[in-house]
Amino acid sequence: MSFDFLNSVSDFLISLLAILFAISIHEFGHAFVAHLNGDDTAKNAGRMTINPVNHIDPFGMIMMFLVHFGWAKPVPVNPYNFKNEKIGNLTVSFAGIFFNLISAIVFALINKYVPMVSIKAVTYSLVMYNIGFAAFNILPIPPLDGWNIIATFLPRETVNKIYEYSRYTTILFIVLIMTNAFSFILNPIYGFFYRIVMLFL
């Protein structure tokens, strides 16, 4: 068995671990903040957990491997249960991105101060994928978090009308990836979040 093969397997497993964590902490963030706002829909559905099995979307997982950006199954939320609907919608929409960035900061600090090379390989991957997941999800495209943040301030009729076209989102993502427009759009956002994380080091 060659050394290159072992390295490839190791890299794959590290990436898999990082992707599963980034997905799980993101969706846990949504569910937890929804719970804080008075809605236990996600909690009752078993989504207030960092167990990745409860969150994985197969196609979104594949995209994470291919382009370092992807998505999970949406966390079910009932905004009518929120103590304040607008504040609830806004904070829940921000929550996944926030939890990814906090995770990236924590793992960046571990990467800086833990001398073991094997640990650094894992923490570096965790930093990169958490930033990537945050950058992707802040895009203002339904049903991503960035769109949900904007939708908080729009009339309900407008939101419902735009949601009618959300079924074409996957096609849009594929076109963006194939034309390299995806990287053109996301790289500046990724770089911005990366600089935010580095401020804490």
Summarised one tens digit per residue, pLDDT across range 21-48 is 999 999 999 999 999 999 999 999 999 9
Catalytically active residues, by annotation: 27
10: pLDDT confidence band, cut at 50, 70 and 90?
Answer: confident
Per-residue pLDDT tens digits for 133-178: 999 999 998 889 999 999 999 998 888 888 777 777 777 777 777 7
For 56, the token pair is: 């994985």
- List, in order, residues 6 or more apart from 174 with CB less than 8 Å away: none
Query: Above 60 in pLDDT, residue 1?
Result: no
In tens, the pLDDT along 101-145 reads 999 999 999 999 988 888 899 999 999 999 999 999 999 988 899
Mean pLDDT calculated for residue range 78-100 = 96
pLDDT tens profile 59-69: 777 776 676 56
Say how far apart CA 72 and CA 103 lie, in whole Å.
17
Helix (H) or strand (E) holding 156: helix 156-163
Whether 197 shows a pLDDT value over 70: the answer reads yes
pLDDT in the model for residue 68: 59
Q: Are 196 and 101 in contact (CB under 8 A)?
A: yes
Residue 53 confidence (pLDDT)? 85
